[in-house]
Chains A and B, each alone.
Chain A
């Protein structure tokens, strides 16, 4: 498991590819690291964003703020359950998603836990880009996640195993 100084070193050496997100006015109860791509989207500074997409990704920013602020978070436990976070199959890979479904377009941010309550939000998508679960687009997204993760963390895999979701998140509420 990576220690806090090791994670900070990775951020320093990443040339801005990974940063620790600090939201003004919020006492951090959980820790969030974000990729440059996520940062650009939630600050409305990504290339070619129109006002509609800026507005949409600012809503996603509010979701990430809620994570850092220590809100209760719903987790997916059934195929059809609507939750804020979910671990993707296969669970052993330790890839999670933030699921921000409203307003449309629905968004997903793939990431992984380094420790309990310490999340790396790495690759953002509009849900429509991903097709059906199991599609080539999804496989590409998971592959993209793995490549990005490997670039940053080398042989340190995302946290996996243990009790889902309580070993990953304080104040998690699985939806039944």
Chain B
């Protein structure tokens, strides 16, 4: 099979001084995307358990529903303040975990189970 293990930018960080500027930009994007995933996951849970919806979040934060929809769309402009507000409107706050770059991201590290995906996972489907 033709696969491409793309360069590992995280171990690269451990080797280079100073850390390249473009790598910092990549790491910032990763963090924002993980926060985005986290907030969307909590929102899905809160919609089920608390009957929360975007309109209610908007009312709690005193902004329009369209603004909430726009904020939830992409995390490019997210700041600590905007994430904190979204979390507060859902009734919680975010806690953190430390993971050294040298350790692989475990399956259970704040993400969904692979079982939640119904799409092709070639290795598994071939083995089945």
A25-47, CB < 8 A from B: 25-31, 34, 39, 42-44
Give the residue name and chain of the B residue nearest to A84 (CB).
B74
Residues of A within 8 A of B30 (CB): 62, 65-66
Which of A10-18, A88-96, A132-140, A142-150 contacts its partner? A10-18
Give the residue name and chain of the A residue nearest to B55 (CB).
A176
> By the criterion CB–CB under 8 Å, are A25 and B21 in contact?
no
Question: Using a Cβ–Cβ cut-off of 8 Å, how many residues does chain B contribute to the interface with A?
Answer: 48
> By the criterion CB–CB under 8 Å, are B104 and A25 in contact?
yes
Q: Does A162 contact B (CB under 8 A)?
A: no
> By the criterion CB–CB under 8 Å, are A71 and B36 in contact?
yes
Q: How far is the CB of A119 from chain B (nearest CB, A)?
A: 9
Cα separation A2 to B6 with both chains bound (whole Å): 25
Chain A positions 69 through 103: 1 when the CB is less than 8 Å from some CB of chain B, otherwise 0: 11110100000011110000000000000010111
B37-61, CB < 8 A from A: 37, 40-41, 44, 54
Q: Does B63 contact A (CB under 8 A)?
A: no
Q: Which of B40, B74, B122 contacts A31 (CB 8 A)?
A: B122
Q: How far is the CB of B123 from chain A (nearest CB, A)?
A: 8
Cα separation A158 to B112 with both chains bound (whole Å): 26
Residues of B within 8 A of A18 (CB): 2
Residues of A within 8 A of B36 (CB): 66, 71-72
Cα separation A173 to B40 with both chains bound (whole Å): 8
Residues of A within 8 A of B7 (CB): 24, 43
Q: Does A155 contact B (CB under 8 A)?
A: no
Residues of A within 8 A of B88 (CB): none
> By the criterion CB–CB under 8 Å, are B74 and A102 in contact?
yes
Residues of A within 8 A of B111 (CB): 27, 29, 69-71
Q: Give the B-binding residues of A (Cβ under 8 A).
A: 4-5, 7-8, 11-12, 14, 16, 18-31, 34, 39, 42-44, 51, 54-56, 58-59, 61-63, 65-66, 69-72, 74, 81-84, 99, 101-103, 114-118, 170-171, 173, 175-176
Q: Give the A-binding residues of B (Cβ under 8 A).
A: 1-11, 21-23, 25-26, 29-30, 33-34, 36-37, 40-41, 44, 54, 69-70, 72-74, 76-77, 104-105, 107, 111-112, 114, 116-122, 125-126
18 extra interchain contacts, Cβ-Cβ under 8 A, other than A4-B122, A25-B104? A14-B2, A20-B1, A27-B114, A28-B121, A29-B111, A30-B119, A31-B120, A51-B21, A58-B29, A69-B37, A72-B37, A72-B41, A74-B40, A101-B74, A101-B76, A116-B120, A175-B69, A176-B69
